[in-house]
Amino acid sequence: QGKGTKMTEFWLISAPGEKTCQQTWEKLHAATTKHNNLSTNSKFNIPDLKVGTLDVLVGLSDELAKLDAFVESVVKKVAQYMADVLEDSKDKVQENLLANGGKVHPSQIHPSGLLEQQWQAEHKFYSSSLDTVPFLFVFKGVNQIDNDLKARASAYNNLKGNLQNLERKNAGSLLTRSLADIVKKEDFVLDSEYLVTLLVIVPKLNYNDWVKQYETLAEMVVPRSSNVLFEDQDSYLCNVTLFRKAVDDFKHKAREYKFMVRDFQYNEEEMKADKEEMNRLSTDKKKQFGPLVRWLKVNFSEAFIAWIHVKALRVFVESVLRYGLPVNFQAMLLQPNKKTMKKLREVLYELYKHLDSSAAAIIDATMDIPGLNLSQQEYYPYVYYKIDCNLLEFK
């Protein structure tokens, strides 16, 4: 989020139609723009859905609350995994999290525009009646995304983990790291019946001792057979050639001087296999990266759109429960300005407090009132849902 940008949070609210719904919209718009633009507003037109009985609506209200939480969690998971996959380029996450088929970033989305296109496409699911059809439809789609994400993430993470383990083997101090990528064939006396080359880690502080001592640490050390092959911050990696039968003696004596003999067999086949495995994993990871990011983009968009749908259905159901029938309300989408959110709340309260003279009494009531979700601890005289796109901000 750069400085001075808008909040990536939307308030989806609804109020009853006055003489007309247009009038409700104009009244809100005037009230929020009168005091130097408290929010950016747009109409959020929800098509008329056929309404069942009150009991059905109360049931739907609960189902929708659960569905909302589920879909939001999947939207977050996809976004979070996108950030994991993009590793070093987290700043690219934002441009990859685009909704509506990749055309707009959620913080700039007007969910209303997005929805209208969607309703057109999926009207058949909603026009029947407001029962469980839309839920199953949304749940199935999002559940599928959730399951696919688990499978894809698990495969990719496996690959990434194996690659990291190999990379770790080739890093770290000379005492523990793999030496395969450091040593060369010519550093060793190979295929000799009597002679063998050892690799020794010599602390830099003790290097002068090594040069003086190594030929005398055991019988049968080949004179001038030691070279420095590699160094890290603290130590040198040296080779030394001696007769096989003197090896144990040499190791034992070397330890007293803090010279560490590494267990190492020069084996070209093994080293080659390791290198090939690393190349294979690295190529595999690169191959999977593109399609995975594309999948995440597309499915982020799908999940986000589904989420906005659920919000729309919730507004519809709550509005009917609160304002009664016939269906007559205007849903509106507000994008608050960060600095004036408190003021915006006050303006909305003034505008709509008449809807609910008993709002104060309701807060004390323990009875279950449709449309009043006490767990949210946010009750307003108007129907209100937050669409929080901050969940898609990565630091």
How far CA 293 is from CA of 19, 152, 156, 288, in Å, comes to 49, 11, 11, 9
* Domains of the chain in sequence order: 9-164+282-364+375-388 (1.20.1460.10), 185-265 (3.30.70.100)
pLDDT for the residue 302: 87
Residue whose tokens read 């304002």: 323
Q: How far apart are CA 191 and CA 193, in angstroms?
A: 6
- Other CB atoms closer than 10 Å to residue 189's CB: what's the count? 16
Q: What is the DSSP letter of 193?
A: S
**What pTM did the predictor assign?**
0.76
Count H helices, E strands: the chain?
10, 8
| For residue 66, pLDDT beyond 80 | yes
Helices (H), 200-340: 207-213, 247-256, 268-323
128 within 8 A of 51, measured Cβ to Cβ? no
**pLDDT tens string 103-118:** 444 444 455 555 555 5
Question: For 178-200, what is the mean pLDDT?
Answer: 95
- Cα separation, 199 vs 174, in Å, equals 11
13 DSSP β-pair partners: 332, 384
Summarised one tens digit per residue, pLDDT across range 257-311 is 999 999 999 999 998 998 899 999 999 999 999 999 999 988 988 888 888 888 9
